[in-house]
Amino acid sequence: MSSSPYPDVDALRELFPVTEQCAYLNHAAVGTLSNRVRDAMATYLSDRALASGLVQHEYVSEDLRCSLARLTNATPEEIGLVQNTSEGLNLAANALPLEPGDNVLFCDMEFPANVYPWMNLQPRGIETRCVPHHGGGLTLEALEEHADDRTRVVAVSSVEFLTGFRSDLAALGAWCRRHGCYFVVDGIQSLGVLPMDVKAYEIDFLSCGGPKWLMGPAGQGFFYVRGDLLDQLQPPFAGCVSVAGWEAWRDYDLTFLPDARRFDLGCGNLVGQVGLLAAVQTLLTVGMNKIAAWTRHLTDLLMEDLRCRGYRIVSNPSPERRSAILTFAVDGDVDQAYDRLIAADVIISKRETFIRVSPHCYNTEEEILRVGEVLGDAQTRGLDD
Ligand SMILES: Cc1ncc(COP(=O)(O)O)c(C=O)c1O
């Protein structure tokens, strides 16, 4: 195994056809598919056209749950499969034992996937508290200031979608444990690019879709639920495969499976699972620490270059709060800056009045520096040149 702290970027570029077309720096919006993912899904579909396909892919769900457990430091029994982040978070919101008068706390930088499921509990008498962000996300200080003894859930993203603020999951999780709160995390902006340890962070429930940093297909995600919490949760739905002994179709015995599969309802999205499995296996082989180190190196370069050029960095610059997302303000019309980057085949996102850049393991230094090259200096050169 190589002793370099970085992945073999040249080898990775061979896996990602998008590298032949553009500088793709937009994984916080949607990731790209590697050849491996594409080929695994294509093979599945070809096999599925033959009867033998059913047998060959019988174990994909189990393999996927094992790989996702490795990715998060969970056990396979604690991993369930859902379509997307929103579905997993809705599951948490509706399965946790919340009472009228309890409150759920989140900050005003949260993506709505982790807001609406909680607001949807308001008719049941659950209060939601949207607290101001500090420096781009939810801080321990803000939590302490706004929580009270009826705070039962703290809902947060591991990385905030707009600012790239990396939440202090260890501190927030420890606070939740001390105060008897459930800690619910939206992991989609960090899983696949930063290491995750659900045990170290004392996370109760985590949900994550596949198509961003995991670079899997759309429509396949997963959730983690802390094993010893399972019996406190009331599954909001019951399907034909949610129960122990489900293959005895006409027993009608509603005894839920002992693990996270109790939330499975029926036939899963096997083509999506095959794709996500190939994606996660690829990431695990590269190594999450190496991916995190390389994307930090790239965003360091970008931050330095943009500062020299006179742009204002919106992302929190503190090393502990940095992620693989770097957001900055342009000097003038953001639409124009966005259009110029896209026209130059530098693929990024425009979010509110900012430009958001989000590189992954296969991006190069040359690619990340294209952002500044295309935009030029903020103060000496107008955006309409
Ligand atoms: C923090 C966060 N959560 C969730 C999502 C997407 O949710 P879903 O997986 O339900 O489509 C996004 C997409 O931008 C996001 O940034």
Whether 52 shows a pLDDT value over 90: the answer reads: no
CB 264 within 8 A of CB 242: yes
Q: Which residues contact 120 (CB under 8 A, 6 or more apart)?
A: 90, 93
Structural domain harbouring 320: 9-32+287-375
Predicted confidence at residue 59, as pLDDT, reads 86
Provide the pLDDT confidence category of residue 54 given band limits of 50, 70 and 90.
low
Instruction: State the chain's mean pLDDT as an integer.
Output: 95
Task: Tell whether 170 and 224 lie within a shared domain.
Answer: yes
Mean pLDDT of 70-95: 98
CB 205 within 8 A of CB 182: yes
pLDDT digits (tens, 9 = 90+) for 289-329: 999 999 999 999 999 999 999 999 999 999 999 999 999 99
* Best residue among 89, 111, 118 to mutate for probing ligand 1, ranked by most atoms within 8 Å of CB: 111
Q: Quick one: 139 exposed, middle or buried, by C-beta within 10 A (0-12, 13-18, 19+)? A: buried
Whether 96 shows a pLDDT value over 60: the answer reads: yes
CATH number at residue 343: 3.90.1150.10
pLDDT digits (tens, 9 = 90+) for 195-221: 999 999 999 999 999 999 999 999 999
Report helix, strand or coil for 19: helix
The model's pTM is: 0.96
CATH number at residue 172: 3.40.640.10
Of 250, 270, 285, the one marking the end of a domain is: 285
Amino acid identity of residue 379, one-letter, is Q
pLDDT digits (tens, 9 = 90+) for 162-201: 999 999 999 999 999 999 999 999 999 999 999 999 999 9
Q: Please report the atom of ligand 1 found closest to the CA of residue 221.
A: 9
Q: Quick one: 4 exposed, middle or buried, by C-beta within 10 A (0-12, 13-18, 19+)? A: exposed
Q: Verify whether ligand 1 is closer than 6 Å to residue 113 (CB atom).
A: yes
Query: What is the DSSP secondary structure assignment for residue 243, as one 8-state letter?
Result: B
Predicted confidence at residue 50, as pLDDT, reads 84
Of 294, 276, 168, 287, whose CA–CA distance to 222 is shortest?
276
Tokens 């393991």 -> residue = 361
Of 229, 251, 285, the one marking the end of a domain is: 285
* Gap between the Cα atoms of 354 and 338, Å rounded: 9
Predicted confidence at residue 381, as pLDDT, reads 42
Distance 252 CA to ligand 1 centre (A): 36
Task: Tell whether 75 and 58 lie within a shared domain.
Answer: yes
Whether 382 shows a pLDDT value over 70: the answer reads: no
Residue 100 lies in a domain: yes
Query: What is the DSSP secondary structure assignment for residue 1, as one 8-state letter?
Result: -
Of 241, 268, 285, the one marking the end of a domain is: 285
* Best residue among 91, 159, 189 to mutate for probing ligand 1, ranked by most atoms within 8 Å of CB: 189
- Which H helix or E strand runs over 103? strand 103-107
Task: Tell whether 28 and 60 lie within a shared domain.
Answer: no
Whether 55 shows a pLDDT value over 50: the answer reads: yes
Whether 380 shows a pLDDT value over 80: the answer reads: no
Residue 56 lies in a domain: yes
Task: Tell whether 279 and 311 lie within a shared domain.
Answer: no
Task: Tell whether 332 and 211 lie within a shared domain.
Answer: no
Distance 85 CA to ligand 1 centre (A): 6
CB 179 within 8 A of CB 154: no
